[in-house]
A and B are shown apart, each in its own frame.
Chain A
Amino acid sequence: MKRLRLGQHYVPSWNVVEDGVRGIFERAYFANNGPLVQDLDRVAAEATGVPYAVAVTNDMMAMMLAAKSLFRQGGVVIAPPFLSPQLREALVWGGYRVRMLDVDQITRQLDPDTVERSVDGETAGIVAVHVLGNVGNAAELEARAAALNVPLIFDASDAFGAATSGRLAGSFGDASLVSFGEADLLNAGEGACVTTRSLEVSNRVRTLRNFHPGQTFAQMPLRMNGKMAEAPAMLALAAFADVTERIAMNSRRFDTYRRALEAVESLTLLEPVDEQANYQRLVVELAPSVGTASHVARCLDPYGIEARPAVAATDAKLYPVAGAMFERLLELPNGADIRDEDVFEIAGRLKKIAAI
C-alpha cells in the first residue's frame, strides 16, 4: 500500500538534476561557498524581497546563526510555545534561555501587547513564527519590537511566497529563516537560508557559518560549520525556478480538499489569512467531538495516511491557546505525490472518524 506522506516533497525534473550534478562534477567544486551557493544567496534574497540571504546547512543551523548574529549572549529569548523543537534546541545550543509566551486567540501569533509587557532587562530577543504559513500581523510585531529595541527573528519556513500588504514572508524583523527541508515548498533535501535587510547582519551570518579567515566579514567570537554544499544549493535553485508552478499545484490540491471536506461541520479547513499564500500547510480544525489531533492521526495511520498535530506539543495548562491549537489542528498530506483520489480517500476516512 502506498503511504500518503506529510510534507511537500517536490523535486525538480530529472534532467535538471542530471545537468546540475554533471556541472558540479565538472567544476569539482563540492562545498565551501561554491558557485551554486553564491547564486542561491542572490536568488533567495531576490525572491524574498530583501537585499541579503545567506544559505546554511538546515533550519536549526539558520536559527543558531541568526540568533548569534542578533541576540546578546546568555539572555532570554521570547518565543511562541509551538516554536518547532529543533529551533528551540538551536537557541539552547546558543546558550539562551527560552521563555514561551502564549499566542493570541484570533491571530494565533504572538500578541505585540503581551510581548511588550514581557520584555525586561533579561530579554535578548524575540523569535516569532509565521505559523501555518500566515504572515498575519507580523508588521505590527515588527514595529513594536523595533520600538522596544529588541531584535526580532521570524521563522518563515511555512510561509515562503506568502505576502500581506505587498510584503513577502522573509522580509520581516531583523532576520528571517526559510527552511529548504524536503517537507517545505523549497526542497533542497536539507538546507535553509537566513534573509535580512541588514548588510551588517548578513555579514555576521556569513562569518558565523564557517571558520575560515578568508570568509570573515565581521568580528564574531563564536562560529560554526554551517555551510551549505553545492548539491542542496543546486536543488534549492531549481526549487526557486519552479516555485510558481509548485504553489499553483498546492492551490489546486487545496481546492480539491475544499470540495472533499465541504459541508462537514466538525471539520474546518483552515484558509490562509494573507492576500497571497503558498498553500503549503493543509490543516483542518477538529470540533471537540471528533477527538484530538493526535487521536485522529493515530486513527488514520492504519490506512496508510500520515497525519499529525499541525503545531508542536505545548503545555495546555500553561498556554491555553497554543495548547488548544496542538489538540485541535490536524495537518494532512499535501505533497507532490498526493493525487485527487488520495484527497478524497483521506477526506472519506476523516469523515468516518468524525462521525463516530
Chain B
Amino acid sequence: MKRAVEELAIFGGTPLFDSIKPVGQLAVPPLDAYLERLRPIFHEHRLSGNGPVVAELERRLAEYHGVSHCIAVANACVGLVMVLRQLVGGKRGNAIVPAFSYSGIPHIVQWAGQMPKFCDVERRRHGLDPVAVDRAIDEDTTVILAVANVHGTCEIDALQEIASRRKVPIVFDSVSALGASFGGKMLGSFGRAEVFSLHATKMLNGFEGGYITTNDDALAQVLRDQRNSGVVNARLNEMHAALALLCVDQLDDVIGRNEARYRAYERELASVEGLELLRYVDEAREHYTYQMAFVAVTDRWPLTREDTVKVLRAERAFAMPYYSPALHHSSHCPIGVAVPELPVAEELARLFMYLPGGEHTTIDDVASCGELLRFVHEHGDEIRRRLSENAA
C-alpha cells in the first residue's frame, strides 16, 4: 500500500495492480464447455445462417425476458437501427433521445434516417425526463429512443404514457439494463421493442452481438424476415451465439459476484469523504445486475474528476468518466442540430466516474481501490499541488 505520495504510480511509483482492472463484465464460461458447444457447429460446417444455436439462444432469452419474440442480431447498434427504421416507416424527422447517454445514440438514429433531438434527463434514474419529452415532441417527431440505465432503468411508465398519448412509437435501448426490472417486471417487453447487447463487456458475453425483444407479432415477423431473407445482413453467427448461451446459464452467478463487489464498494466508500456511490434505485423492489459501480465526485473531494481518473488509471484501475461530455456538447452531436441547454444532463455528465468492476476485479481489488481512494483523500492537497507542478 502507498505510504507516501511519491509512491503513487502517477508520480513514478509501482502501480497498485499487476494487471489492468477494467470496467467491463468480461464473463466467460468454462473453456471446455464452450469447445463442446463448438464441435457440432464445425463438424456440420454450419457457422451462421440463423442456425440451431441462434434459435436456442433466442428461445432462452425470450423466456428469460418473459417476452414472445427474441430476434438475435449482429450487434445492438444494428438491432436498434433495424427497429427504428421499421417504426418510422420511411419518414424523416427527429428522434427524441437522452442527452446523458451512450455515445452511439446520435449515430444510431441517423442510420435510421432521423436527426437526434436531445432531451434532458431526470435526477433519479438518469433517463429521459418525461416532462421534457412531452414538451419536445413536435410534428416532426418520429420516434422516442429511451435508454434504460444500469442503476435504475428509466421512467418507463411515464414515458410509455406520453408515447401512447402523443402517438409516437417508443423503443428502449436496454443494453445496460439486461437483468433489471421496472415495477418488478423484467425488462424485455416494454415499448414497441427493446434492444440488448451481447458485447463482451456486457452481462452476456457473445464476443459481439445483440438481440431485439418484442411482444409485437407483426414487428417481429418483419424484422425476422428482413434478417433471414438477406434484405439486411444482421445475422449473429453460431460461435458468438454459443458463447452467449453458456453465459445465460451462469448469469445468476455473475450477478451474485457483481453484487458482492458492489456491496464491498459500499463498505469501502462509506468512509471516503467526498465520493458518493451511486445507489441502485428502489433496490427492495427491483432486480439489478450490479454490473457497475459509479461514484459522484463531489466538491468535497480534493481532486477534479479528471485528475482522479488519471491517478487511478496510473495504478491500472481503469476508471473513466461516465457519459461525459453530455451528447449535445460532444463530437457525437451532428452538425446542424440545435444545441439546447440541458442542465441536468450537463451536470451529471460532469459528476460521475466508473470504478473497476467485472470478473477481473476481486473483492480484494475493491478493498485496495478503497484504500487507495482514502489515501488520495488524506493527501489531497499535496497530490493536487504535485499534479499542477507536473502539468506546468
Residues in A whose Cβ lies below 8 Å from that of B392: none
| A9 adjacent to chain B (CB < 8 Å) | yes
Known contacts being A25-B28, A58-B233, is A11 close to B45, with CB within 8 Å?
A: yes
B200 touches A224 (CB 8 A): no
Q: Is the CB of A17 within 8 A of B48?
A: no
- Which of chain B's residues have a CB closer than 8 A to the CB of A188? 47
Which of A101-109, A195-203, A226-234 makes up part of the contact surface?
A226-234
Contact A235-B47, Cβ < 8 Å, known A57-B208, A222-B110, A224-B77: yes
Which of A31, A60, A221, A231 has a CB less than 8 Å from the CB of B233?
A60
Residues of the A chain whose Cβ atoms lie less than 8 Å from the Cβ of B103: 211
**Does A69 belong to the interface (CB within 8 Å)?**
no
Q: Quick one: CB contact mask for B232-273 with A, threshold 8 Å, 1 for yes?
A: 111111111001000000000000000000000000000000
Q: At the interface with chain A, which of B31-39, B288-296, B341-349, B380-388?
A: B31-39
Contact A190 B199 (CB under 8 A): no
Indicate whether A31 sits within 8 Å of B31 (C-beta atoms), given known contacts A57-B75, A86-B230: no
Cβ-defined contact, B232 with A89, below 8 A: yes
Contact flag A21-B35 (CB < 8 Å), given A30-B26, A60-B233: yes
A182 beta carbon closer than 8 Å to chain B? yes
Q: Which residues of B contact A61 (CB under 8 A)?
A: 74, 78, 233
Residue of A10, A59, A231 touching B239 (CB-CB under 8 A):
A231
Are A95 and B239 in contact, CB atoms less than 8 angstroms apart?
A: no
Report the nearest A residue to B241, measured CB to CB: A189
Please report the total number of B residues contacting A with Cβ < 8 Å: 51
Mask, A7-43, CB within 8 Å of B = 1, is 0011100100110011001001011100000000000
B107: Cβ under 8 A from any A Cβ: yes
In the complex, the chain B residue whose C-beta lies closest to that of A234 is B239
B132 within 8 A of A: no
Report chain A residues within 8 Å CB of B237: 189-190, 231-232
Q: How far is the CB of B21 from chain A (nearest CB, A)?
A: 12
The listed residue (B77, B231, B360) touching A225 by CB distance below 8 A is B77
B92, closest chain A residue (CB): A95
Contacts of A14 in B (CB 8 A): 39, 42
What's the minimum C-beta distance from A242 to chain B, rounded to whole angstroms? 13
A232 neighbours in B (Cβ, 8 Å): 207, 237, 239
* B334 and A190 contacting across the interface, CB-CB below 8 Å: no
With most chain A CB atoms within 10 A of its CB, the pick from B200, B205, B231, B237 is B237
Q: What mask results when residues 174 to 194 of chain A are scored 1 for a CB within 8 Å of chain B, else 0?
A: 000000011000011110000
With A18-B35, A60-B232, A224-B111 known as contacts, the answer to whether A230 contacts B28 (CB < 8 A) is no
| Chain A interface, DSSP helix/strand/loop, else mixed | loop
Say if the beta carbon of B316 comes within 8 Å of chain A.
no
Q: Within the complex, what minimum Cβ distance (angstroms) separates B265 from chain A?
A: 22
Minimum CB distance partner of B108 in chain A = A224
Distance in Å: Cβ of A294 to nearest Cβ of chain B: 15
Interface string of B80-95 (1 = CB under 8 A from A): 0100010000000000
Identify the closest chain B residue to A213 (Cβ). B331
Contact of B77 with A189 in the complex, beta carbons under 8 Å: no
A283 to B44, CA, bound (A): 24
- Find out whether the CB atom of B49 lies under 8 angstroms from the CB atom of A182: yes
CA gap between A11 and B43 in the complex, in Å: 9
Which B41-88 residues sit within 8 Å CB-CB of chain A?
A: 42, 45-49, 74-78, 81, 85
A86-B231, A222-B334 known; A187-B107 Cβ under 8 A: no
Q: Residue of A at shortest CB range from B111? A: A93
Indicate whether B104 reaches chain A with its CB closer than 8 angstroms: yes
Could you tell me the distance in whole angstroms from the C-beta of A216 to the nearest C-beta in chain B?
Answer: 8
Determine how close the nearest CB of chain A comes to the CB of B291; give it in whole angstroms.
16
Nearest B residue (CB) for A336: B45
Is B332 on the interface with A (CB-CB < 8 A)?
Answer: yes
Q: Mark A264-303, 1 if CB is under 8 A from B, else 0.
A: 0000000000000000000000000000000000000000
CB pair A85–B230 under 8 Å, yes or no, is yes
CB-CB < 8 A to B208: which residues of A? Answer: 31, 57, 225, 227-229
Determine whether the beta carbon of B26 is less than 8 Å from that of A225. Answer: no
Q: Does B113 contact A (CB under 8 A)?
A: yes
Contact of B235 among A58, A95, A225 (CB under 8 A): A58
Query: How far is B111's CA from A223's CA once the two chains are assembled, in angstroms?
Result: 9
Say if the beta carbon of A342 comes within 8 Å of chain B: no
Docked CA distance A182–B74 (Å): 15
Which residues of chain B are near A235, meaning CB under 8 Å?
47, 239
Instruction: Tell whether A11 pairs with B42 under 8 Å between CB atoms, given A84-B230, A86-B233.
Output: yes
Measured CB to CB, the closest approach of chain B to A215, in angstroms, equals: 12
Q: Which residue of A lies closest to B22 (CB)?
A: A28
The interface residues of chain A lying within 8 Å CB-to-CB of B235 are 58, 190
Please, which residues of chain B bring their CB within 8 A of the CB of A22? 31
* Most chain B beta carbons < 10 A, residue from A61, A86, A181, A235: A86
Question: Of B28, B38, B74, which one neighbours A17 at CB under 8 angstroms?
Answer: B38
Contacts of B111 in A (CB 8 A): 64, 93-94, 222, 224
A18-B35, A31-B200, A58-B235 in contact; A224/B107 too (CB < 8 A)?
yes
Asked if B391 is at the interface of the complex by the 8 Å CB criterion, the answer is no
Q: Select which of A21, A57, A336 is within 8 A of B34 by beta carbon.
A: A21
Q: Whole-angstrom distance between the alpha carbons of A64 and B108 in the complex?
A: 13
Chain A residues, CB < 8 A from B218? none
Which residues from B are CB-within-8-Å of A231?
207, 237, 239-240, 243
Q: How far is the CA of A223 from the CA of B113 in the complex (A)?
A: 14
Which 5 pairs, one residue from A and one from B, show the smallest C-beta to C-beta distance? Answer: A189-B237, A229-B207, A30-B200, A189-B47, A225-B77
Not counting A190-B74, A229-B200, a sample of 5 additional A-B residue pairs whose C-beta atoms are within 8 angstroms of each other reads A11-B47, A86-B232, A190-B237, A224-B107, A231-B239
B-side residues, CB < 8 A to A, are: 26, 28, 31, 34-35, 38-39, 42, 45-49, 74-78, 81, 85, 103-104, 107-108, 110-113, 199-201, 205, 207-208, 230-240, 243, 331-332, 334-335, 360
24 A-B pairs whose Cβ atoms sit less than 8 Å apart in the complex: A21-B34, A25-B31, A30-B205, A31-B208, A58-B74, A61-B78, A64-B111, A84-B230, A94-B111, A95-B113, A181-B48, A182-B45, A188-B47, A189-B237, A189-B240, A190-B235, A222-B110, A222-B111, A224-B77, A224-B108, A225-B75, A225-B78, A231-B237, A231-B243
Interface residues of A (CB under 8 A from B): 9-11, 14, 17-18, 21-22, 25, 28, 30-32, 57-61, 64, 84-86, 89, 93-95, 181-182, 187-190, 211, 213, 221-225, 227-232, 235, 335-337
